[in-house]
Protein backbone atom coordinates (compact mmCIF):
# COMPACT_ATOMS: atom_id res chain seq x y z
CA UNK A 1 0.00 0.00 0.00
CA UNK A 2 1.23 3.48 -0.77
CA UNK A 3 -0.35 6.86 -0.25
CA UNK A 4 0.44 10.41 -1.26
CA UNK A 5 0.95 13.46 0.96
CA UNK A 6 -2.32 15.08 1.95
CA UNK A 7 -2.54 18.73 2.97
CA UNK A 8 -5.29 20.10 5.22
CA UNK A 9 -7.01 23.48 4.91
CA UNK A 10 -5.22 26.54 6.25
CA UNK A 11 -5.99 27.11 9.91
CA UNK A 12 -6.88 23.47 10.61
CA UNK A 13 -6.49 22.94 14.36
CA UNK A 14 -4.23 20.11 15.53
CA UNK A 15 -4.27 18.96 19.13
CA UNK A 16 -4.77 16.18 21.63
CA UNK A 17 -7.24 15.41 24.37
CA UNK A 18 -7.30 14.01 27.90
CA UNK A 19 -9.74 13.76 30.83
CA UNK A 20 -9.26 14.77 34.44
CA UNK A 21 -9.88 11.48 36.23
CA UNK A 22 -7.83 9.55 33.70
CA UNK A 23 -4.61 11.53 34.13
CA UNK A 24 -4.58 13.87 37.12
CA UNK A 25 -4.18 11.63 40.15
CA UNK A 26 -3.92 13.68 43.37
CA UNK A 27 -7.27 12.20 44.29
CA UNK A 28 -7.18 13.53 47.85
CA UNK A 29 -5.11 16.66 47.30
CA UNK A 30 -6.17 20.28 47.53
CA UNK A 31 -9.65 19.70 48.85
CA UNK A 32 -10.76 17.27 46.15
CA UNK A 33 -13.34 14.74 47.29
CA UNK A 34 -14.72 11.57 45.76
CA UNK A 35 -16.27 11.53 42.32
CA UNK A 36 -18.48 8.66 41.17
CA UNK A 37 -15.40 7.10 39.58
CA UNK A 38 -13.50 7.05 42.86
CA UNK A 39 -16.44 5.24 44.41
CA UNK A 40 -17.01 2.91 41.46
CA UNK A 41 -13.35 1.88 41.32
CA UNK A 42 -13.69 0.55 44.88
CA UNK A 43 -16.59 -1.76 43.93
CA UNK A 44 -15.26 -5.33 43.74
CA UNK A 45 -15.05 -6.48 40.13
CA UNK A 46 -16.01 -3.13 38.61
CA UNK A 47 -12.57 -2.18 37.25
CA UNK A 48 -9.97 -4.57 35.95
CA UNK A 49 -7.59 -5.65 38.72
CA UNK A 50 -9.10 -3.02 41.06
CA UNK A 51 -7.17 -0.24 39.34
CA UNK A 52 -8.13 3.35 40.15
CA UNK A 53 -7.24 6.95 39.34
CA UNK A 54 -5.65 7.84 42.66
CA UNK A 55 -2.29 8.45 40.98
CA UNK A 56 -2.98 7.87 37.28
CA UNK A 57 -0.35 9.88 35.32
CA UNK A 58 0.14 12.32 38.23
CA UNK A 59 -0.58 15.17 35.83
CA UNK A 60 -1.62 17.32 38.79
CA UNK A 61 2.01 17.47 39.94
CA UNK A 62 3.59 17.30 36.45
CA UNK A 63 1.61 19.94 34.59
CA UNK A 64 4.63 21.94 33.47
CA UNK A 65 6.32 18.82 32.14
CA UNK A 66 3.21 17.80 30.25
CA UNK A 67 2.67 21.23 28.71
CA UNK A 68 6.27 21.23 27.53
CA UNK A 69 5.63 17.79 26.05
CA UNK A 70 2.64 19.19 24.14
CA UNK A 71 4.74 22.06 22.84
CA UNK A 72 7.45 19.65 21.68
CA UNK A 73 4.79 17.70 19.76
CA UNK A 74 3.67 20.87 17.96
CA UNK A 75 0.17 20.75 19.41
CA UNK A 76 -1.83 23.90 18.81
CA UNK A 77 -4.73 22.94 21.11
CA UNK A 78 -5.18 20.89 24.24
CA UNK A 79 -8.61 19.61 25.18
CA UNK A 80 -8.76 18.86 28.91
CA UNK A 81 -11.57 18.49 31.39
CA UNK A 82 -12.01 20.22 34.71
CA UNK A 83 -13.00 17.95 37.56
CA UNK A 84 -16.27 18.97 39.18
CA UNK A 85 -15.18 16.93 42.21
CA UNK A 86 -11.98 19.00 42.48
CA UNK A 87 -13.51 22.40 41.83
CA UNK A 88 -16.77 21.97 43.77
CA UNK A 89 -16.31 18.79 45.83
CA UNK A 90 -19.87 18.72 47.17
CA UNK A 91 -21.28 19.77 43.81
CA UNK A 92 -22.28 23.17 45.17
CA UNK A 93 -19.45 24.95 46.98
CA UNK A 94 -16.42 26.32 45.10
CA UNK A 95 -13.01 25.02 46.19
CA UNK A 96 -10.49 27.78 45.44
CA UNK A 97 -7.48 25.47 45.62
CA UNK A 98 -8.95 23.06 43.09
CA UNK A 99 -9.94 25.85 40.72
CA UNK A 100 -6.48 27.40 41.02
CA UNK A 101 -4.93 24.24 39.59
CA UNK A 102 -6.78 24.78 36.31
CA UNK A 103 -5.93 28.46 36.29
CA UNK A 104 -2.24 27.55 36.42
CA UNK A 105 -2.73 24.98 33.68
CA UNK A 106 -4.41 27.53 31.42
CA UNK A 107 -1.63 30.04 32.02
CA UNK A 108 1.02 27.47 31.16
CA UNK A 109 -0.79 26.46 27.98
CA UNK A 110 -1.10 30.04 26.81
CA UNK A 111 2.55 30.71 27.59
CA UNK A 112 3.43 27.73 25.39
CA UNK A 113 1.26 29.00 22.52
CA UNK A 114 -1.33 26.24 23.00
CA UNK A 115 -5.07 26.97 22.88
CA UNK A 116 -6.86 25.69 25.99
CA UNK A 117 -10.06 23.80 25.12
CA UNK A 118 -12.03 23.22 28.29
CA UNK A 119 -14.54 20.42 28.80
CA UNK A 120 -16.65 20.97 31.91
CA UNK A 121 -17.74 17.36 32.39
CA UNK A 122 -15.94 14.14 31.50
CA UNK A 123 -17.84 11.73 33.75
CA UNK A 124 -16.55 12.66 37.22
CA UNK A 125 -19.76 13.71 38.98
CA UNK A 126 -19.20 14.52 42.67
CA UNK A 127 -20.28 11.49 44.67
CA UNK A 128 -22.25 13.84 46.91
CA UNK A 129 -24.58 14.56 43.97
CA UNK A 130 -24.89 10.91 43.01
CA UNK A 131 -26.02 10.29 46.58
CA UNK A 132 -28.92 12.61 45.77
CA UNK A 133 -29.84 10.73 42.59
CA UNK A 134 -27.08 11.78 40.21
CA UNK A 135 -28.01 12.64 36.64
CA UNK A 136 -31.35 10.90 37.11
CA UNK A 137 -32.20 13.82 39.42
CA UNK A 138 -33.28 16.95 37.53
CA UNK A 139 -31.56 19.25 40.04
CA UNK A 140 -28.17 17.99 38.86
CA UNK A 141 -28.72 19.80 35.56
CA UNK A 142 -29.28 23.07 37.43
CA UNK A 143 -26.23 22.52 39.61
CA UNK A 144 -24.17 21.81 36.51
CA UNK A 145 -25.08 25.25 35.16
CA UNK A 146 -23.97 26.80 38.45
CA UNK A 147 -20.68 24.90 38.17
CA UNK A 148 -20.22 26.29 34.65
CA UNK A 149 -20.64 29.81 36.00
CA UNK A 150 -18.00 29.24 38.69
CA UNK A 151 -15.52 27.94 36.14
CA UNK A 152 -16.18 30.78 33.73
CA UNK A 153 -15.68 33.36 36.46
CA UNK A 154 -12.27 31.83 37.13
CA UNK A 155 -11.11 31.05 33.61
CA UNK A 156 -13.35 32.86 31.13
CA UNK A 157 -10.89 35.69 30.61
CA UNK A 158 -8.44 33.20 29.07
CA UNK A 159 -10.45 30.19 27.84
CA UNK A 160 -12.28 30.83 24.57
CA UNK A 161 -13.52 27.33 23.67
CA UNK A 162 -15.91 25.54 26.04
CA UNK A 163 -17.38 22.06 25.74
CA UNK A 164 -20.16 21.38 28.20
CA UNK A 165 -20.29 17.57 28.17
CA UNK A 166 -18.16 14.76 26.86
CA UNK A 167 -20.07 11.76 25.53
CA UNK A 168 -23.40 11.99 27.37
CA UNK A 169 -24.29 8.61 25.86
CA UNK A 170 -21.61 6.98 27.99
CA UNK A 171 -22.59 8.94 31.09
CA UNK A 172 -26.26 8.02 30.78
CA UNK A 173 -26.38 4.56 29.26
CA UNK A 174 -23.09 2.99 30.35
CA UNK A 175 -23.43 4.52 33.80
CA UNK A 176 -27.12 4.12 34.54
CA UNK A 177 -28.34 1.25 32.31
CA UNK A 178 -25.37 -1.06 31.65
CA UNK A 179 -23.52 -0.55 34.92
CA UNK A 180 -20.23 -0.73 33.00
CA UNK A 181 -19.24 2.80 34.02
CA UNK A 182 -19.76 4.82 37.17
CA UNK A 183 -22.08 5.04 39.00
CA UNK A 184 -22.69 1.43 38.00
CA UNK A 185 -26.49 1.46 38.06
CA UNK A 186 -28.62 -0.84 35.90
CA UNK A 187 -31.89 1.07 35.74
CA UNK A 188 -33.26 1.72 32.22
CA UNK A 189 -35.67 4.44 33.34
CA UNK A 190 -32.92 6.23 35.27
CA UNK A 191 -30.66 6.04 32.19
CA UNK A 192 -33.25 7.78 30.04
CA UNK A 193 -33.79 10.41 32.72
CA UNK A 194 -30.04 10.90 32.93
CA UNK A 195 -29.78 11.35 29.16
CA UNK A 196 -32.39 14.10 29.24
CA UNK A 197 -30.95 15.82 32.29
CA UNK A 198 -27.47 15.78 30.77
CA UNK A 199 -28.84 17.53 27.70
CA UNK A 200 -30.77 19.94 29.88
CA UNK A 201 -27.59 20.62 31.87
CA UNK A 202 -25.81 21.34 28.59
CA UNK A 203 -28.49 23.81 27.57
CA UNK A 204 -28.62 25.56 30.93
CA UNK A 205 -24.82 25.80 31.18
CA UNK A 206 -24.47 27.04 27.60
CA UNK A 207 -27.07 29.73 28.26
CA UNK A 208 -25.20 30.94 31.33
CA UNK A 209 -21.90 31.00 29.45
CA UNK A 210 -23.48 32.77 26.49
CA UNK A 211 -24.94 35.48 28.71
CA UNK A 212 -21.56 36.14 30.27
CA UNK A 213 -19.42 35.73 27.17
CA UNK A 214 -21.18 36.16 23.80
CA UNK A 215 -17.91 35.77 21.91
CA UNK A 216 -16.89 32.42 23.42
CA UNK A 217 -17.16 29.28 21.29
CA UNK A 218 -19.59 26.85 22.92
CA UNK A 219 -20.36 23.27 22.05
CA UNK A 220 -20.87 19.69 23.16
CA UNK A 221 -19.00 16.51 22.32
CA UNK A 222 -20.91 13.39 21.27
CA UNK A 223 -19.53 9.92 20.69
CA UNK A 224 -21.26 8.76 17.54
CA UNK A 225 -21.41 5.47 15.72
CA UNK A 226 -22.31 4.35 12.20
CA UNK A 227 -25.05 1.75 12.56
CA UNK A 228 -25.35 -0.45 9.47
CA UNK A 229 -27.69 -3.42 8.97
CA UNK A 230 -25.63 -6.58 8.62
CA UNK A 231 -27.96 -7.59 5.79
CA UNK A 232 -29.49 -4.52 4.12
CA UNK A 233 -32.19 -6.75 2.62
CA UNK A 234 -33.32 -7.96 6.05
CA UNK A 235 -36.14 -5.98 7.65
CA UNK A 236 -34.98 -7.22 11.05
CA UNK A 237 -31.42 -6.05 10.48
CA UNK A 238 -32.62 -2.68 9.21
CA UNK A 239 -34.70 -2.30 12.36
CA UNK A 240 -31.72 -3.31 14.50
CA UNK A 241 -29.61 -0.59 12.88
CA UNK A 242 -32.43 1.93 13.28
CA UNK A 243 -32.75 1.18 16.99
CA UNK A 244 -29.04 1.56 17.69
CA UNK A 245 -28.79 4.69 15.57
CA UNK A 246 -31.74 6.08 17.53
CA UNK A 247 -30.44 5.18 20.98
CA UNK A 248 -26.83 6.11 20.29
CA UNK A 249 -26.93 9.03 17.85
CA UNK A 250 -30.32 10.59 17.26
CA UNK A 251 -31.45 10.65 20.91
CA UNK A 252 -28.83 13.40 21.34
CA UNK A 253 -28.53 14.93 17.87
CA UNK A 254 -32.24 15.54 17.32
CA UNK A 255 -32.93 17.45 20.57
CA UNK A 256 -29.77 19.50 20.10
CA UNK A 257 -30.35 20.42 16.45
CA UNK A 258 -34.10 20.00 15.93
CA UNK A 259 -35.57 20.65 19.35
CA UNK A 260 -37.33 17.30 19.51
CA UNK A 261 -36.74 13.68 20.35
CA UNK A 262 -37.11 11.27 17.39
CA UNK A 263 -40.64 9.85 17.23
CA UNK A 264 -39.39 6.31 16.64
CA UNK A 265 -37.11 6.49 19.68
CA UNK A 266 -40.00 7.72 21.82
CA UNK A 267 -42.02 4.76 20.58
CA UNK A 268 -39.14 2.41 21.34
CA UNK A 269 -38.86 3.60 24.95
CA UNK A 270 -42.57 3.90 25.64
CA UNK A 271 -43.39 2.51 29.06
CA UNK A 272 -40.10 3.59 30.65
CA UNK A 273 -41.43 6.89 31.97
CA UNK A 274 -39.48 9.13 29.63
CA UNK A 275 -42.51 11.28 28.78
CA UNK A 276 -42.78 12.32 32.41
CA UNK A 277 -39.12 13.41 32.52
CA UNK A 278 -39.28 15.92 29.68
CA UNK A 279 -40.93 19.15 30.85
CA UNK A 280 -42.35 22.07 28.89
CA UNK A 281 -39.59 24.36 27.70
CA UNK A 282 -36.77 21.85 28.13
CA UNK A 283 -36.25 21.25 24.43
CA UNK A 284 -36.04 24.96 23.69
CA UNK A 285 -33.22 25.21 26.26
CA UNK A 286 -31.45 22.16 24.85
CA UNK A 287 -31.66 23.29 21.22
CA UNK A 288 -30.28 26.80 21.65
CA UNK A 289 -27.70 27.46 18.90
CA UNK A 290 -24.15 26.21 19.42
CA UNK A 291 -20.90 27.32 17.85
CA UNK A 292 -19.44 23.89 17.15
CA UNK A 293 -20.06 20.16 17.48
CA UNK A 294 -17.35 17.92 18.87
CA UNK A 295 -17.34 14.40 17.43
CA UNK A 296 -15.68 11.37 18.99
CA UNK A 297 -15.39 8.37 16.69
CA UNK A 298 -13.78 4.99 17.21
CA UNK A 299 -15.80 2.47 15.15
CA UNK A 300 -19.11 1.64 13.53
CA UNK A 301 -21.39 -1.36 13.89
CA UNK A 302 -22.95 -4.02 11.67
CA UNK A 303 -26.17 -5.01 13.41
CA UNK A 304 -28.58 -7.89 13.19
CA UNK A 305 -31.57 -9.38 14.93
CA UNK A 306 -30.47 -12.89 13.99
CA UNK A 307 -29.12 -14.58 17.09
CA UNK A 308 -25.50 -15.74 16.81
CA UNK A 309 -25.11 -19.45 16.22
CA UNK A 310 -23.12 -20.02 19.40
CA UNK A 311 -23.61 -17.62 22.26
CA UNK A 312 -24.64 -19.73 25.25
CA UNK A 313 -25.49 -17.79 28.35
CA UNK A 314 -24.69 -14.38 26.87
CA UNK A 315 -27.04 -11.41 27.26
CA UNK A 316 -28.85 -10.09 24.20
CA UNK A 317 -26.85 -6.96 23.60
CA UNK A 318 -24.43 -5.37 21.22
CA UNK A 319 -20.81 -4.55 21.90
CA UNK A 320 -20.20 -0.93 20.97
CA UNK A 321 -17.51 1.66 21.44
CA UNK A 322 -16.50 2.00 25.11
CA UNK A 323 -19.17 -0.47 26.18
CA UNK A 324 -17.62 -3.85 26.79
CA UNK A 325 -16.25 -4.66 30.20
CA UNK A 326 -12.88 -6.41 30.31
CA UNK A 327 -12.78 -10.03 31.36
CA UNK A 328 -10.96 -9.15 34.56
CA UNK A 329 -13.77 -6.78 35.57
CA UNK A 330 -16.16 -9.47 36.72
CA UNK A 331 -19.08 -7.43 38.00
CA UNK A 332 -22.28 -8.43 36.12
CA UNK A 333 -23.40 -5.83 33.60
CA UNK A 334 -26.44 -5.26 31.41
CA UNK A 335 -27.15 -3.78 27.98
CA UNK A 336 -26.96 0.00 27.60
CA UNK A 337 -29.56 -0.16 24.85
CA UNK A 338 -32.75 -0.02 26.87
CA UNK A 339 -35.06 -0.78 23.94
CA UNK A 340 -32.97 -2.95 21.66
CA UNK A 341 -33.42 -6.45 23.03
CA UNK A 342 -32.29 -9.08 20.58
CA UNK A 343 -29.90 -6.81 18.69
CA UNK A 344 -26.42 -8.19 18.07
CA UNK A 345 -23.23 -6.82 16.57
CA UNK A 346 -21.76 -8.87 13.74
CA UNK A 347 -17.99 -8.94 13.12
CA UNK A 348 -17.15 -7.97 9.55
CA UNK A 349 -13.65 -9.37 9.31
CA UNK A 350 -12.06 -5.95 9.69
CA UNK A 351 -8.85 -5.44 11.65
CA UNK A 352 -9.47 -4.75 15.34
CA UNK A 353 -7.71 -2.69 17.99
CA UNK A 354 -6.61 -3.89 21.39
CA UNK A 355 -10.11 -3.11 22.63
CA UNK A 356 -11.57 -5.44 20.02
CA UNK A 357 -13.06 -2.49 18.14
CA UNK A 358 -13.14 -2.73 14.36
CA UNK A 359 -10.97 -0.31 12.42
CA UNK A 360 -13.40 1.40 10.05
CA UNK A 361 -12.12 4.75 8.76
CA UNK A 362 -14.62 4.91 5.91
CA UNK A 363 -17.33 4.94 8.57
CA UNK A 364 -15.88 8.19 9.88
CA UNK A 365 -16.15 9.79 6.46
CA UNK A 366 -19.77 8.67 6.16
CA UNK A 367 -20.53 9.94 9.65
CA UNK A 368 -19.07 13.38 8.98
CA UNK A 369 -20.94 13.65 5.69
CA UNK A 370 -24.20 12.69 7.39
CA UNK A 371 -23.69 15.27 10.13
CA UNK A 372 -22.99 17.96 7.53
CA UNK A 373 -26.06 16.99 5.53
CA UNK A 374 -28.57 16.52 8.36
CA UNK A 375 -27.39 18.46 11.40
CA UNK A 376 -24.35 20.75 11.44
CA UNK A 377 -24.70 21.95 7.86
CA UNK A 378 -28.28 23.22 8.26
CA UNK A 379 -27.26 24.75 11.61
CA UNK A 380 -24.30 26.50 9.99
CA UNK A 381 -21.72 25.30 12.52
CA UNK A 382 -18.39 23.50 12.10
CA UNK A 383 -17.39 20.05 13.29
CA UNK A 384 -14.24 19.29 15.25
CA UNK A 385 -12.91 15.79 15.78
CA UNK A 386 -12.48 15.91 19.55
CA UNK A 387 -11.44 12.27 19.98
CA UNK A 388 -10.14 9.58 17.66
CA UNK A 389 -7.51 7.01 18.43
CA UNK A 390 -6.76 3.40 19.21
CA UNK A 391 -5.44 1.09 21.91
CA UNK A 392 -2.88 -1.52 20.95
CA UNK A 393 -0.66 -3.86 23.00
CA UNK A 394 2.38 -1.60 22.98
CA UNK A 395 5.77 -3.27 23.38
CA UNK A 396 8.46 -0.84 24.58
CA UNK A 397 12.10 -1.46 23.80
CA UNK A 398 14.88 -1.36 26.38
CA UNK A 399 14.76 2.45 26.42
CA UNK A 400 10.97 2.54 26.78
CA UNK A 401 10.31 3.62 23.18
CA UNK A 402 7.23 2.15 21.45
CA UNK A 403 7.36 1.70 17.68
CA UNK A 404 3.57 1.60 17.35
CA UNK A 405 3.12 1.34 13.60
CA UNK A 406 -0.39 -0.06 14.06
CA UNK A 407 -1.54 3.08 15.88
CA UNK A 408 0.29 5.28 13.41
CA UNK A 409 -1.54 3.54 10.56
CA UNK A 410 -4.84 4.02 12.40
CA UNK A 411 -4.29 7.78 12.65
CA UNK A 412 -3.12 7.96 9.03
CA UNK A 413 -6.23 6.18 7.73
CA UNK A 414 -8.66 8.20 9.83
CA UNK A 415 -7.05 11.52 8.97
CA UNK A 416 -7.38 10.61 5.31
CA UNK A 417 -11.05 9.83 5.96
CA UNK A 418 -11.46 13.27 7.55
CA UNK A 419 -9.87 14.86 4.49
CA UNK A 420 -12.21 12.85 2.23
CA UNK A 421 -15.15 14.26 4.17
CA UNK A 422 -13.78 17.80 3.86
CA UNK A 423 -13.41 17.27 0.12
CA UNK A 424 -17.04 16.10 0.11
CA UNK A 425 -18.20 19.32 1.74
CA UNK A 426 -18.06 18.57 5.47
CA UNK A 427 -16.98 21.62 7.47
CA UNK A 428 -14.41 19.93 9.70
CA UNK A 429 -11.95 22.38 11.22
CA UNK A 430 -9.78 20.43 13.63
CA UNK A 431 -8.58 17.08 14.94
CA UNK A 432 -7.67 16.31 18.54
CA UNK A 433 -6.10 12.90 18.95
CA UNK A 434 -7.06 10.59 21.79
CA UNK A 435 -4.99 10.61 23.76
CA UNK A 436 -1.97 12.66 24.69
CA UNK A 437 -0.91 10.15 27.37
CA UNK A 438 -1.50 6.53 28.22
CA UNK A 439 -3.93 6.72 31.11
CA UNK A 440 -6.59 5.11 33.29
CA UNK A 441 -8.93 3.59 30.73
CA UNK A 442 -12.10 3.38 32.84
CA UNK A 443 -13.25 -0.21 33.46
CA UNK A 444 -10.10 -1.48 31.74
CA UNK A 445 -7.88 0.21 34.31
CA UNK A 446 -4.33 0.53 33.01
CA UNK A 447 -4.54 -2.45 30.64
CA UNK A 448 -5.35 -0.46 27.49
CA UNK A 449 -3.07 2.26 26.15
CA UNK A 450 -4.24 4.98 23.75
CA UNK A 451 -1.45 7.50 24.20
CA UNK A 452 0.69 9.29 21.68
CA UNK A 453 3.10 9.25 24.62
CA UNK A 454 3.93 6.17 26.65
CA UNK A 455 3.64 6.48 30.42
CA UNK A 456 5.69 4.07 32.52
CA UNK A 457 3.26 3.54 35.39
CA UNK A 458 6.08 2.58 37.76
CA UNK A 459 8.26 5.64 37.18
CA UNK A 460 5.69 7.94 35.48
CA UNK A 461 8.28 8.71 32.81
CA UNK A 462 6.79 10.03 29.55
CA UNK A 463 8.28 8.87 26.22
CA UNK A 464 6.69 9.86 22.88
CA UNK A 465 5.84 6.87 20.74
CA UNK A 466 6.45 6.56 17.01
CA UNK A 467 2.86 7.67 16.47
CA UNK A 468 3.44 10.73 18.64
CA UNK A 469 6.53 11.77 16.72
CA UNK A 470 4.67 11.22 13.44
CA UNK A 471 1.70 13.25 14.69
CA UNK A 472 4.07 16.08 15.65
CA UNK A 473 5.23 16.19 12.02
CA UNK A 474 1.62 16.22 10.82
CA UNK A 475 0.75 19.10 13.12
CA UNK A 476 3.83 21.09 12.06
CA UNK A 477 3.24 20.57 8.34
CA UNK A 478 -0.59 20.73 8.42
CA UNK A 479 -0.40 17.66 6.23
CA UNK A 480 -0.34 13.87 6.41
CA UNK A 481 2.88 12.62 4.82
CA UNK A 482 3.07 9.98 2.12
CA UNK A 483 3.06 6.45 3.44
CA UNK A 484 4.33 3.20 1.95
CA UNK A 485 4.11 -0.38 3.08
> What are the residue numbers of the active site?
167, 387
* Closest to 3 measured CA to CA, from 412, 420, 363: 412
Number of residues that this document lists for the chain: 485
| Count of other CB atoms within 10 angstroms of residue 93 | 11
CA 114 to chain centre: 21
Q: Are 391 and 321 in contact (CB under 8 A)?
A: no
Phi, psi of 351, deg, nearest 5? -60, 155
Q: Are 166 and 201 in contact (CB under 8 A)?
A: no
Amino acid sequence: MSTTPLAFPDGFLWGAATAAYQIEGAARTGGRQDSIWDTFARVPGAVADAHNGDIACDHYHRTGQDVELMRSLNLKAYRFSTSWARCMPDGRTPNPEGIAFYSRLVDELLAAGITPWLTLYHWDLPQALEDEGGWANRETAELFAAYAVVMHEALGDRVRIWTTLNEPWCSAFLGYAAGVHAPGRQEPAAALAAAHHLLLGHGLAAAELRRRDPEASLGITLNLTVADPADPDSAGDRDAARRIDGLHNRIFLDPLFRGEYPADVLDDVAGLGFDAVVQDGDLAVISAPMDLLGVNYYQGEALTKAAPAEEPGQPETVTTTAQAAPASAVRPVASPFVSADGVHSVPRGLPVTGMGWEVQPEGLCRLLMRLQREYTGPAGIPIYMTENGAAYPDAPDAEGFVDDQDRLAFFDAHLRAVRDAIDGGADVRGYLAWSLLDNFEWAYGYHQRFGLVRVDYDTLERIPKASGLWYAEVAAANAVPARTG
